[in-house]
């Protein structure tokens, strides 16, 4: 019997003739509709909740809204909610009758589109369509070479946006970090918004630290859009709004911001971010119950402002490491929470978003890889419409790493390939190709027409991931994955410029104090 080495070398020699053709095929650009993966592919294969479990969670959420309710609504919110049919008790809490919740669910927006400035990046939030993107907001930038954490800046946020604009498997850019070099809070909100818009034409998510900042930020948005009417036709920015402070309290200033933004036509991420064992209950199922109750209250609130307001059902429950109370965003329990929330979104038939891809690791290392790989894959397989925090986020949301964006683009490509699943068609199960190879053919499929035809449309290849043999890796100087990520990051940033029209950029910089170049 031949040794393995004796078999491998002839096989490698036989492959060499077809390799040039395969490399040439991979270099040719593909039309979006035939790429092996793309944003908006349908998931939904993974279902950690049974149908009975979903019904129990829904019933418990309605009980919580009716019996516990939410406290600390602003006066404007009290007026809106009570006029809609909610009840304010003597304890000041707003309680929600079942009929009110059901009525508002009936008029809530479905099948919404989150627009991008480039229409090819529009996000269609229907059914189980899956989109991966970023979120934040980290307060540090991670340097994976020096292993240092430093304060994040407006330039870092802009650089991250430019990278996202050039990474195919990251479908939207929600602000990733706090501009710690901008001291004034309104200037920080303006720089956050403009850093996102200047870096990418994909859909942008941002937030406002104070309701009084909304008007100035919309003035900037109207300038970029070409006027308020153009903005309302295609609103390309959504507001990440923490309207609730778990457990079961409204966040007054965020609610006022939400009211203003909805009236201005901005899509709303209704974000509830309890932490299991701390600000939400320890049982995973009951944490989902609380998240549902809080976000259902948000649905009632938003539709009391404007029926059919475009909103994302933003259940973002997080996990605590119960040994310490610290957040654990990369845990298996986090993956289960996110997938369970996705199932509840489908039950309500509402566009939904949740967190996936957070790493507790401080660096883009093996721990980060398994945490991001597991949580993103389960979120995608569960059919989560908007997978936030999917790449770049380390130290349980405290650190952001630009190199991780690049590495994460490969990781998300693989996750989306899982979401796509296996195409079973008459052509893909025909044995004709087997006959050609086995009955007098070459005995392998490497150069067959079918293989060459499908190598780009059925398979996805990493941009920085290394698939060399040990021999090839040695001959190439033993390249490291991080070095490849740094090289790709630098290559993108060297070419990626400001995507705002130069004249509009001049107007904005003359009017506002912009901190990045």
Nearest residue to 234 via CA among 122, 133, 312, 313? 122
Same domain? 412 vs 338: yes
pLDDT on residue 41: 79
Q: Report d(CA 317, CA 175) in Å as an integer.
A: 19
pLDDT on residue 96: 98
Of 85, 104, 123, which residue sits at a domain end?
A: 104
Buried b (16+ CB within 10 A) or exposed e, 307-346: eebbbbbbbbbbbbeeeeeebbbbbebbbbbbbbbbbbbb
Listing DSSP states for 7-48 in one string gives HHHHHHHHHHHHHHHHHHHHHS---GGGSS--TTEE------
Same domain? 90 vs 162: no
Separation in Å, CA 159 to CA 84, 163, 368, 419, 489: 44, 6, 22, 29, 10
pLDDT on residue 32: 75
Q: What is the largest CA-CA distance in the chain?
A: 86
Q: Report d(CA 123, CA 41) in Å as an integer.
A: 11
* 171: CATH: 3.20.20.480
In-domain check, residue 17: no
For the chain, what's the residue count?
517
CB 294 within 8 A of CB 246: yes
Same domain? 210 vs 325: yes
- Beta strands 87-88 and 94-95: pairing type? antiparallel
Cis peptide before 137 (omega within 30 of 0): yes
pLDDT on residue 23: 59
Sign of CA dihedral 370, 371, 376, 381: positive
Cα three-residue angle 22-26-27, rounded to 5 degrees:
120
HSE value, Cβ hemisphere, 13 Å, CA-based, for 74: 15
Q: What is the pLDDT along the chain (517 residues), one digit of tens a residue?
A: 343 333 343 334 444 455 666 556 556 677 777 788 888 878 999 999 999 999 999 999 999 999 999 999 999 999 999 999 999 999 999 999 999 999 999 999 999 999 999 999 999 999 999 999 999 899 999 999 999 999 999 999 999 999 999 999 999 999 999 999 999 999 999 999 999 999 999 999 999 999 999 999 999 999 999 999 999 999 999 999 999 999 999 999 999 999 999 999 999 999 999 999 999 999 999 999 999 999 999 999 999 999 999 999 999 999 988 888 888 999 999 999 999 999 999 999 999 999 999 999 999 999 999 999 999 999 999 999 999 999 999 999 999 999 999 999 999 999 999 999 999 999 899 999 899 999 989 999 888 888 888 888 888 899 999 999 999 999 999 999 999 999 999 999 999 999 999 999 999 999 999 999 9
Of 104, 127, 145, which residue sits at a domain end?
A: 104
Q: Report d(CA 179, CA 154) in Å as an integer.
A: 5
Nearest residue to 132 via CA among 311, 375, 366, 465? 375
Of 83, 104, 125, which residue sits at a domain end?
A: 104
Query: What is the C-alpha R_g of the chain?
Result: 25
User: Which helix (H) or strand (E) element contains residue 312?
Assistant: strand 311-315
Same domain? 235 vs 375: yes
In-domain check, residue 480: no
pLDDT on residue 326: 86
In-domain check, residue 72: yes
Same domain? 253 vs 130: yes
Listing DSSP states for 153-201 in one string gives -HHHHHHHHHHHHT-TT--EEE--B--TT--SHHHHHHHHHHHHHHH-S
pLDDT on residue 3: 39
pLDDT on residue 449: 85
In-domain check, residue 202: yes
CB 338 within 8 A of CB 357: no
Same domain? 87 vs 178: no
In-domain check, residue 400: yes
Same domain? 93 vs 217: no
Nearest residue to 84 via CA among 309, 301, 250? 301
Nearest residue to 82 via CA among 102, 97, 63? 97
Same domain? 120 vs 77: no
- Beta strands 326-327 and 112-114: pairing type? unpaired
Same domain? 146 vs 55: no
**Residue range(s) defining the domain that contains residue 146:** 110-421+502-511
Residues 6+ apart with CB under 8 A from 123: 39, 40, 113, 114, 116, 131, 171, 172, 203, 386
In-domain check, residue 10: no
Q: Report d(CA 481, CA 462) in Å as an integer.
A: 11
C-alpha 346, offset from chain centre: 17
- Which DSSP symbol is given to 85? T
The number of folded domains in the chain is 2
pLDDT on residue 33: 73
Query: In the structure encoding, which two tokens stand for residue 381, read together?
Result: 């397989």
pLDDT on residue 13: 41
Query: In the structure encoding, which two tokens stand for residue 441, read together?
Result: 């053919």
In-domain check, residue 493: no
Q: Report d(CA 246, CA 317) in Å as an integer.
A: 10
Place of tokens 């003739």: 17
pLDDT on residue 28: 65
Same domain? 94 vs 230: no
Same domain? 58 vs 161: no
Residue 353's region, left for phi above 0, alpha for psi from -120 to 50, else beta, is beta
- Which DSSP symbol is given to 337? H
In-domain check, residue 98: yes
Same domain? 97 vs 121: no
CB 318 within 8 A of CB 273: yes
The 8 Å CB, 24+ separation contacts for 493-502 are: 493/159, 493/162, 493/163, 495/166, 496/162, 496/163, 496/165, 496/166, 496/199, 497/162, 498/198, 498/199, 499/117, 499/165, 499/197, 499/198, 499/199, 499/200, 499/201, 500/197, 500/198, 500/224
Tell me how crowded residue 417 is: count the other CB atoms within 10 A of its CB. Answer: 18
pLDDT on residue 496: 97
């Amino acid at each position: 019997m031949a040794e393995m080495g004796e078999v491998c070398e002839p096989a490698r020699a036989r492959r060499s003739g077809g390799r040039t053709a395969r490399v040439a095929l991979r270099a040719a650009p593909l039309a979006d509709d035939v790429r092996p993966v793309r944003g908006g592919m349908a998931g939904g294969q993974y279902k950690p909740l049974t149908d009975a479990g979903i019904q129990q969670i829904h019933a418990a959420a309605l009980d919580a809204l009716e019996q516990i309710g939410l406290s600390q609504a602003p006066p404007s919110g009290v007026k809106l909610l009570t006029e809609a049919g909610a009840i304010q008790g003597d304890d000041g809490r707003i309680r929600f009758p079942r009929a009110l919740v059901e009525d508002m669910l009936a008029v809530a927006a479905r099948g919404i589109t989150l627009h991008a400035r480039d229409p090819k990046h529009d996000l269609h939030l229907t059914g189980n369509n899956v989109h991966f993107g970023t979120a934040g907001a980290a307060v540090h930038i991670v340097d994976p070479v020096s292993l240092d954490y430093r304060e994040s800046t407006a330039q870092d946020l802009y650089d991250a946006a430019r990278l996202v604009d050039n990474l195919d498997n990251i479908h939207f850019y929600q602000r990733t970090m706090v501009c710690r070099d901008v001291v004034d809070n309104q200037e920080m909100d303006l720089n956050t918004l403009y850093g996102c818009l200047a870096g990418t034409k994909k859909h942008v998510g941002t937030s406002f630290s104070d309701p009084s900042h909304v008007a100035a930020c919309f003035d900037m948005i109207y300038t970029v859009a070409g006027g308020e009417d153009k903005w309302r036709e295609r609103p390309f920015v959504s507001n990440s709004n923490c309207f609730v402070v778990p457990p079961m309290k409204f966040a007054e200033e965020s609610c006022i911001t939400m009211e203003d933004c909805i009236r201005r036509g901005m899509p709303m991420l209704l974000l509830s971010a309890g932490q299991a064992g701390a600000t939400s209950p320890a049982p995973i199922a009951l944490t989902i119950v609380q998240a549902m109750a809080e976000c259902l209250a948000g649905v009632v609130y938003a539709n009391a402002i404007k029926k059919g307001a475009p909103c994302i059902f933003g259940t973002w429950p997080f996990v605590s490491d119960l040994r310490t109370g610290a957040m654990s965003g990369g845990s298996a329990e986090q993956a289960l929470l996110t997938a369970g929330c996705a199932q509840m979104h489908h039950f309500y038939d509402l566009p939904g978003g949740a967190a996936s891809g957070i790493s507790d690791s401080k660096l883009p290392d093996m721990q980060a890889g398994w945490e991001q790989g597991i949580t993103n894959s389960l979120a995608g397989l569960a059919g989560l419409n908007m997978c936030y925090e999917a790449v770049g986020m380390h130290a349980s949301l405290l650190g952001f790493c630009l190199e991780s964006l690049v590495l994460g683009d490969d990781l998300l490509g693989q996750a989306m390939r899982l979401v796509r699943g296996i195409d079973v068609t008459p052509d893909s199960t025909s044995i004709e190709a087997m006959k050609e190879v086995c009955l007098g053919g070459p005995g392998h499929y490497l150069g067959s027409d079918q293989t060459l035809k499908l190598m780009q449309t059925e398979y996805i290849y990493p941009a920085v991931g290394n698939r060399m043999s040990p021999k090839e890796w040695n001959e190439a100087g033993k390249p490291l994955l991080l070095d490849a990520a740094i090289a790709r990051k630098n290559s993108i940033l060297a070419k990626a410029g400001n995507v705002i029209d130069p004249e509009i950029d001049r107007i904005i910089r003359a009017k506002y104090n912009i901190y990045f170049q």
